[in-house]
């Protein structure tokens, strides 16, 4: 039977780290959800690793800056993974990426 956790505090003792989606979990696009910064602070205080995941087409630095405007500062997480960052990295390393010919043609 599926049981819903009451929050991260209930899950934290059972996991070394967390991957948390940015939009809809940490903020609503306009403001952070109540208690987000404190919850992340508590995870960090207990030595948990935290990655922020986003399907944003923007690079990681842009997403980090947005999070900081919401009070979610870089000390509260280990890194940001966004689709925009992954795409940029793959195109940047086009000699080793799948679709290298396409990347070379696109970015030359």
Please give the mean pLDDT across all residues of the chain: 88
Q: Is position 99 within any domain?
A: no
Tell me what pLDDT residue 96 has: 58
Q: Is position 91 within any domain?
A: no
Spatial CA neighbour of 76 closest among 35, 107, 24, 106: 35
Q: Is position 77 within any domain?
A: yes
Tell me what pLDDT residue 76 has: 97
Q: Is position 51 within any domain?
A: yes
In the chain, the number of structural domains is 1
User: Are 81 and 52 in contact, with CB atoms under 8 Å apart?
Assistant: yes
pTM of the full structure: 0.80
Which residue range is the domain that position 27 belongs to? Answer: 8-82
Tell me what pLDDT residue 90 has: 82
Tell me what pLDDT residue 99 has: 61
Q: Is position 94 within any domain?
A: no
Q: Read off the CATH number of the domain in which 30 is found.
A: 3.40.50.1000
Average pLDDT score over residue span 36-45: 95
**Model pLDDT for residues 16-38, shown as the tens digit of each residue:** 999 999 999 999 999 999 999 99
């Amino acid at each position: 039977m599926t049981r819903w956790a009451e929050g991260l505090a209930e899950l934290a003792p059972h996991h070394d780290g967390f991957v948390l989606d940015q939009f809809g979990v940490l903020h609503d696009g306009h403001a952070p959800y109540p208690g987000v910064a404190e919850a992340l602070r508590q995870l960090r205080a207990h030595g948990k690793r935290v990655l922020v995941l986003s399907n944003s087409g923007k690079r990681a630095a842009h997403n980090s800056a947005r999070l900081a405007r919401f009070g979610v500062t870089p000390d509260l997480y280990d890194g940001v993974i966004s689709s925009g960052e992954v795409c940029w990295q793959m195109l940047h390393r086009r000699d080793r990426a799948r679709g290298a010919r396409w990347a070379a043609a696109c970015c030359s």
